[in-house]
Amino acid sequence: NFDCIVVTCSSLKWATAIEAELRILQARNIISETVKILTVEDPASNIGSGAATLNALLVVTEFLSAHNGFTVVSPDVLDRSRILVLHHSREYALEPCGKAFMSIPEIHAASIDQITGRSSNLENLLNIVSQMQENGPPGVWVCSTDMILTCSDVAVNWGSVKDCLLICSASDPGYATNHGAVMVNSDGIVSSILYCGAIEALHSYARPDGTVLVVSGMVFFSAELAESLLALHSMSPLDCCTYMGVDSGAEPMQMSLFFDLLVAMAADVSRDSFLSGQCGRWYDKKFCLEKTALAQRARNLIWNELSPYSMNAYILGGKPSHRYLSNDTTGRQHSELLINRAGSEMLHHAALDVSIKRIGKCSILMNTFIRCENCCIGSNSLLKDCRLEASEVVIGNNCYINGLTVNMKDEALVIPANTCVLQYEIHLENFDTAPVVIAFGMDDHLGVPFAEEEFRICKRTLQEFCALASVTKDVLWPSSTTQLGQQQDCLMTAKLFTWGQESFRDALYLVGTTQCQEHMDEWKKRTRLSLVDVLVHQSLKEQFHKCWNIFFCVASDITEKTLLEKSDVLITPYMNAACACGREADLMAVLDSVAEGKVASKDPAIASRTFSCIADFLGAMAGNAGGLRSGPGGNKTWMCAFELLMEGKIQEGALALKQERLKWMDRPDRMMRAARHYEGALQVLIWKAVHTAEKYIITAPASQLPPFEVWAVAECPARMDLFGGWTDTPPICYELGGSVINIAVLIDGQKPIGAKARRLHEPHIVITLLHDLAPEKMEITSVEDLSDYSQPGARGALLKACLIGSGVVEIDSKNKLSEQLLARHSGGIELQSWSKLPQGSGLGTSSILAAAIVSALWTAVGRTFDKQAVIHCVLHVEQLLTTGGGWQDQVGGVTGGLVHGSSQPHLPLHVDVEMLPLSLEFCHHLSNHFLLLYTGKVRLAKNLLQTVIRNWYTRETKVVSCFKELLHLCKTSVKESFLKEDLEEIGKWLDHYWQLKKILAVGCEPSFVARLMALLKPYVHGQLLLGAGGGGFLCALTKEPCQADFIQRLLDRSQGMSKVTIHKVEVDMTGLRLSVGTENVELASSMHPY
């Protein structure tokens, strides 16, 4: 939703690290690739949000001006730009990654690439403000990152917003005393803002429900208002707020956005109260403009520029919460805030490699990896960004552990209850980056002076600590300087913490229940730092790097377990993150390990999913520069690996695939081609799985061969899928199971699909193709003439695949084709097929046509068979053809009537067929109420099928739940509605089926079809596009019988519907019909031994 995102920060070293993280977010698709990203260093430290905003606005306007070809700053660029300014906050002791990039649980994810447990506060705020900007005008958003914000209802009515929109959150009055309270009049206009008002002063701000609105930290400026703000940068003394003023030698000026700038737009604030600094009382005593002549001039300029504008309030809905992050917060308060957000889920991107684990109630692990024999974590404890390896890990109750990485090998790691442990990565001059571990009590206040009664240091009073450590307070506070605004007499400034390898042990001794005098003597000799020192010298770059190391350690563990345990975990986000961070080798090593492992070699489902994941990963690595994902995958250099897989040698095949892949990693286009070949390897495994259905293709010699030159004719109805489609598709049909209800129908009174075959005296094959009813004959005299059977676009490919799949011709025979034909059938074969339905009709044409061709061939060459043999043979044919279709089309077209087909989640693949009873009366009802409308739009199903299979193997969450819903409902509620013969309920299920289809095959409802459905909706119980969708036939179950003429008149009156044609439907109870010459042929009864 934004053209440019600007992040302000106080230090250049932070700016570099922050920009790198933003680029990672962009590479992970969490920030759109079209968004321009800027990081802007504040002109001076602690300059305030107002000055930082003016400076950021100047810098981004300069940037956009240059980008648009201007040689000077042009405010015109703001008229068409949507800009977001995020203020990176001051240091926050409880989060080594800072307030913006601290990970928080349960964010409202706007992208599947956001991973709970590793999603940052900045991402959460970005999601919220992006939703509010939806359909919004150009302008500038400014957002603090000082707070954790929660809300679920963010729909802004932009029609009522004129100049400025202040985002507010409801809170209790006690909370508002430490923040900016907002008063809003009946028109939704902000009338006053009060900073840190006394509880008595807040009575007039209270709403009827007793809550008080507080400034959330977000505000929107219209483009016009943003130009007025920008104008301030050139006016003295406000030019001191920008880098231009500082670079010109001026002293920087501190200014608040909310309590110096926005207050000027509040409806009830007068000029005098604003100029005097009395409005909003009060902020100026702490951070704001000094009450000097300089401040008066600055306020006068602000008033003149901003007071004409109005400021609307937007109140966050959906159980909002606003929690400001300050160093006054204790470890317990911060930990409880995050645990309460996390809900009931214990692991948020966390992995435990342990033999025994005991995790207490309400304990949470985020981006954490633990390896040990015995793991015991007490109740109400939170571990973030940790990697702990020890013989035993014991964490007490009520602990907060952030950033800790330890490898204690054969030792036990024990952290006592009520302990806060933080690990920072710091960089001291002339030294390498080193860890510092901070430890103190969960209820210790960091900023409380030691003289106050509530002061605690490492869970003890000052006297207790000094006695145990044998130190005086002068050892802890050796000087009286002020750092980061903290006086030198509180826990923040106490010189407690050592750095380097002994830091962790030293920190634990400080909070431990027993003390070793020898160890304390060593501690006193070491160079010690205060928490303020640590914050000054921390390396944000190394902190981020460490968190990503832990992330990929956990991701590797989750990926491996997901594949081996066949769990429905989406691992695509890990792939995208690996590509964004340059960590592709780590994740690829895991995928290779699974593919080449013993478990996958014994379970083709695991190998198949792993190959698909490697293909996805290669596609992600190649990116857009690699070209389109779909394409051929039959390069000869990969054939050795394919042959090994075909022989069932999965382990050897996986290794051969990797060895070949490594030769293709030099360019994006070659990586994409490698991805296609991994999908080719997957198709080999699917082919082998579907090939297990061959045991159910049972035929037997007929008592006599049909005469030469006499046609064996097979005719079939079309089928309409009424529920469960896509679950019949390999590999879903044998990994999850399949369940489909469909019905066989005559179209305009005819069986529209058929084939005929006859024996010829001459030992060759003649096939006739019908193109728009114009016959084209092809003569096949050698096996080589059949070799393009696997190319669906080749002339006669379907008929060739049927000749091979039915066993009439053996493609791998060493004998000549003429020799085969004479030996097997005493002559040649002539074969014709036809369909009176358009390509891409959605009525199962190609599969049913294959069933007709196979049936005609078998009959012509003297084989007897049953319908089950035909159904399973078509599965085999479609694998040969590489179209990879499911079984539901031939089940409907061959069986006839209303049919429930199903397959179980195992191999060998077998299709069970259950004919659902249809009373004669209900059969007539269905025929009279069903209508087919041909949309005139065609879409081939193959590319859709590839996408659905990819989404199945990545375990896209919506796709998996959709498949499971289709499977469950088809077996239960939908089936029951047909048995009850309830047309209205059947119609509702048709509508629901269409909604599920749209989830599985995104884009299968063109806008034209949506308009057609909207036109029909008042007159139908339900409707859907048949087959894969995207075009073809629309099936409508009308409320009234025999509505063809009425619907035709409706279409005639509607614009753009001239190409839609209506076709009458009649339920066909016979299915496949066979004849030889003038004699009908009965199919064999069941030939299966089961």
Convert the pLDDT of each residue in 875-896 to its tens digit: 999 999 988 889 999 999 999 9
Mean pLDDT of 197-210: 88
Give the per-residue pLDDT at 1: 80
pLDDT tens per residue across span 1031-1084: 789 999 999 999 999 999 999 999 989 889 999 999 999 999 999 998 999 887
pLDDT over threshold 60, residue 90: yes
Mean pLDDT of 476-492: 71
Residue 828: strand pairing partners = 760
- Helices in 603-667 by DSSP H: which ranges? 604-622, 639-646, 650-661
Give the per-residue pLDDT at 486: 53
What size, in residues, is the chain? 1090
Distance, in Å, from the CA atom of 882 to the CA atom of 794, rounded to the nearest integer, reads 12
- The closest alpha carbon to 19, from 86, 69, 118, belongs to 86
Mean pLDDT of 317-338: 91
Q: Which residues contact 1010 (CB under 8 A, 6 or more apart)?
A: none
Segment holding 145, helix H or strand E: none
**Domain 921-1067 = CATH 3.90.1570.10:** no
Mean pLDDT of 485-514: 86
Distance, in Å, from the CA atom of 877 to the CA atom of 888, rounded to the nearest integer, reads 14
Give the per-residue pLDDT at 113: 66
| List of E strands, 859-942 | 863-865, 898-903, 911-915, 930-934
Compute CA distances 694 → 45, 426, 805, 907, 908, whole Å: 75, 66, 10, 11, 9
pLDDT tens per residue across span 421-473: 999 999 988 788 899 999 999 999 999 999 898 999 999 999 999 988 888 88
Mean pLDDT of 837-864: 94
> CA-based Rg of the chain, rounded to a whole angstrom?
36
Give the per-residue pLDDT at 501: 86
What architecture (CATH level 2) is domain 330-407?
3 Solenoid (2.160)
Give the per-residue pLDDT at 285: 42
pLDDT class of 288 with cuts at 50, 70, 90: very low
**Of residues 46 and 24, which shows the higher confidence score?**
24
Q: What's the token pair of residue 647? A: 């022989």
pLDDT tens per residue across span 685-718: 999 999 999 999 999 999 889 999 999 999 999 9
Give the per-residue pLDDT at 525: 87
Give the per-residue pLDDT at 480: 58
Compute CA distances 354 → 367, 376, 613, 641, whole Å: 16, 10, 27, 37
Mean of per-residue pLDDT scores for the chain: 91
Distance, in Å, from the CA atom of 121 to the CA atom of 338, rounded to the nearest integer, reads 11
Distance, in Å, from the CA atom of 57 to the CA atom of 87, rounded to the nearest integer, reads 12
Tell me whether the omega of the peptide bond preceding residue 237 falls within 30 degrees of 0, making it cis: yes
- The closest alpha carbon to 384, from 396, 397, 370, 372, belongs to 370
Model pTM score: 0.88
Mean pLDDT of 122-127: 93
pLDDT class of 405 with cuts at 50, 70, 90: very high
Mean pLDDT of 27-50: 90
DSSP 3-state assignment of 1010? Answer: helix
pLDDT over threshold 80, residue 516: no
What percentage of the chain reaches a pLDDT higher than 90?
Answer: 74
pLDDT over threshold 50, residue 289: no
Residue 400: strand pairing partners = 382, 420
* Amino acid identity, position 490: C
Q: Give backbone dihedrals phi and psi of 40, rounded to 5 degrees, phi first.
A: -125, 125
Give the per-residue pLDDT at 21: 94
**Of residues 399 and 291, which shows the higher confidence score?**
399
Distance, in Å, from the CA atom of 975 to the CA atom of 914, rounded to the nearest integer, reads 11
Mean pLDDT of 967-973: 97
Mean pLDDT of 1013-1024: 97
Q: What's the token pair of residue 97? A: 């990654």
Mean pLDDT of 173-186: 90
pLDDT tens per residue across span 290-300: 546 777 888 89
Going by the DSSP 8-state scheme, the letter that residue 526 receives in this structure is S
**Of residues 966 and 937, which shows the higher confidence score?**
966
Which is it for strands 364-377 and 347-359: parallel, antiparallel or unpaired? Answer: parallel
Distance, in Å, from the CA atom of 819 to the CA atom of 433, rounded to the nearest integer, reads 79
Which is it for strands 405-407 and 930-934: parallel, antiparallel or unpaired? Answer: unpaired
Cβ atoms of 1023 and 1034 within 8 Å: the answer is: yes
Mean pLDDT of 146-161: 88
What percentage of the chain reaches a pLDDT higher than 70?
Answer: 96
Sign of the alpha-carbon torsion through 155, 161, 165, 169: negative
Give the per-residue pLDDT at 112: 60
**Of residues 10 and 1068, which shows the higher confidence score?**
1068
Distance, in Å, from the CA atom of 1061 to the CA atom of 1059, rounded to the nearest integer, reads 6
pLDDT class of 108 with cuts at 50, 70, 90: low
Angle in degrees, CA 1013, 1016, 1019, rounded to 5: 145
- The closest alpha carbon to 941, from 683, 726, 633, belongs to 726
**Of residues 553 and 118, which shows the higher confidence score?**
553
pLDDT class of 283 with cuts at 50, 70, 90: very low
- Ranges of each domain in the chain: 4-321, 330-407, 428-537, 543-695, 921-1067
Residue 913: strand pairing partners = 901
Which is it for strands 321-324 and 147-150: parallel, antiparallel or unpaired? Answer: antiparallel
| CA terminus-to-terminus distance, the chain | 60
Give the per-residue pLDDT at 478: 86
Residue with tokens 């095949």: 653
Lowest mean pLDDT segment, chosen from 44-48, 605-609, 870-874 = 44-48
Residue 500: strand pairing partners = none
